[in-house]
Amino acid sequence: MTNNRKVAVITGSHKGLGLAIARKLAQKDDILVIITSRKESDSKATKQKLKAEGIEVDHHQLDVTDAESVTKFMEWLTSTYGRVDILVNNAGVNPSQVSEEASILTAKAETMLDTFNTNTVGALRICQAVIPLMTQRDYGRIVNVSTEMASLQQIPQDFYPPAPSYRMSKVGLNAMTALLTKELMNINILVNNYSPGWMQTDMGGQDAPYTTEEGAETAVYLATLPDGGSQGGFFAEMRKFGGAVALPW
């Protein structure tokens, strides 16, 4: 039982940024976190690891590219908790190490479709699943983990590698937020995107300047916005700037 605590679902949260966000949210008295992972054993192990740190969470299998997995997860969530208040769409893949991804001129359609299936359609799948439950209670906070590499206005001048599949999938994720914002205008469900910065994770590598704890800060801020807070925003990692700073779309 939640004892009236808010229920937070974080996709891909057995490691990396997702785990850091989970850890921070779970340390709040009024939030129960559900760790999810593609492999059931991963989220189970993370639940045990957090328990050893004195942090209680629940866990469940969830593959955002698998409609059956999403259905089973939602059945479990509805029967166990009957609510979801916070969703963090963190699950993501970045195939930029693949040689064809060094240029938009060589990027392969299959790689692009696979990347979109996780980073864009996967996030949409989970939004479509949870928004009806959020609507029932007229409360929801949705945080989509994007990247400043998907800022259309900055791409022509930025110094990042091309990473076409990754960038285009996250541009799609940003578009999803704009479209959700249009449809959720009169409901207390706030949807925002942010860029966590370059972090030390399996995806980011060990040379990255930021820790996942630093990258998680803006997610926690957006996941706990008060009523009337930002709707449809795209934010930089706030720790870098000492507060919430909007990125150009």
Ligand X SMILES: NC(=O)c1ccc[n+]([C@@H]2O[C@H](COP(=O)([O-])OP(=O)(O)OC[C@H]3O[C@@H](n4cnc5c(N)ncnc54)[C@H](OP(=O)(O)O)[C@@H]3O)[C@@H](O)[C@H]2O)c1
Q: Interface with ligand X by CB under 6 A: which residues?
A: 11-12, 14-18, 37-39, 62-65, 90-94, 118, 122, 145, 147, 195-196, 198-199, 201-204, 208
Question: How close are the terminal C-alpha atoms of the chain, in Å?
Answer: 40
Minimum distance of ligand X from residue 92's CB (angstroms): 2
Nearest residue (CB) to ligand X, 85 versus 237? 237
3-state SS class at 186: coil
Nearest residue (CB) to ligand X, 139 versus 239? 239
Minimum distance of ligand X from residue 54's CB (angstroms): 23
Q: Report the helix count and the strand count for the chain, using DSSP H and E.
A: 8, 7
What's the CA gap between 28 and 233, in Å, rounded?
Answer: 24
Task: Out of 166, 194, 210, 221, pick the active-site residue.
Answer: 166
**CB-based burial of residue 51 (10 Å sphere; 0-12 exposed, 13-18 middle, 19+ buried)?**
exposed
Nearest residue (CB) to ligand X, 20 versus 139? 20
Contact 66, 135 (CB under 8 A): no
Find, among 57, 48, 61, the residue nearest to 28 by Cα: 57
Minimum distance of ligand X from residue 136's CB (angstroms): 25
Minimum distance of ligand X from residue 17's CB (angstroms): 4
The two three-digit tokens of residue 34, written as one number: 């559900």
Minimum distance of ligand X from residue 187's CB (angstroms): 25
What's the CA gap between 46 and 44, in Å, rounded?
Answer: 5
Minimum distance of ligand X from residue 23's CB (angstroms): 13
Nearest residue (CB) to ligand X, 133 versus 216? 216
221 assigned to active site:
no
Residue type, 82: G
Nearest residue (CB) to ligand X, 9 versus 189? 9
Q: Helix, strand, coil shares of the chain as percentages rounded to 5?
A: 45, 15, 40
| Main-chain dihedrals φ then ψ at residue 234, nearest 5 degrees | -135, 110
Nearest residue (CB) to ligand X, 2 versus 76? 76
3-state SS class at 219: helix
Q: Which residue has the tokens 């942010």?
A: 194
Report the catalytic residues.
Answer: 166
